[in-house]
């Protein structure tokens, strides 16, 4: 089975062939982990906030983290789409 050029039988070979795409893949993986941790109680520390100012500061920090994760995900996806669509177009042009 081939999915986006990834052969499931040989992932090590895919990593060798697409080493330049690895940072984007790792960035997407990091963003996914961030969102999974957040979904499973990553913001529970706000429950024990000692003051409204501490809660507000925590909310602002989370807002920055969410915005940064969205930006990183969009940049990584754009990079991966550009790489793999370029490879697909190059394969079509070959005789």
**Which of residues 2 and 83 earns the better pLDDT score?**
83
Q: Write the pLDDT tens digit of every residue in 1-56.
A: 455 655 555 767 777 777 888 899 999 999 999 999 888 876 676 677 788 898 88
Smallest CA-to-CA distance from 72 within 35, 24, 36 is with: 24
Using 50, 70 and 90 to split pLDDT, how confident is the model at 59?
A: confident
Which helix (H) or strand (E) covers residue 35, if one does?
helix 22-37
- On whether the pTM is more than 0.85, the answer is no
Strand ranges inside 1-95, DSSP E = 2-3, 6-7
């Amino acid at each position: 089975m081939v999915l986006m050029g990834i052969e499931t039988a040989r992932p090590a070979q895919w990593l060798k062939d697409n080493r330049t795409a690895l940072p984007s893949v790792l960035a997407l993986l990091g963003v996914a982990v961030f969102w999974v941790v957040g979904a499973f109680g990553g913001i529970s520390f706000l429950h024990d906030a000692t003051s409204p100012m501490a809660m507000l500061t925590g909310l602002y920090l989370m807002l920055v983290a969410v915005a940064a994760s969205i930006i990183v995900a969009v940049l990584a996806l754009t990079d991966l789409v550009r790489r793999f669509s370029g490879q697909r177009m190059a394969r079509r042009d070959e005789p």
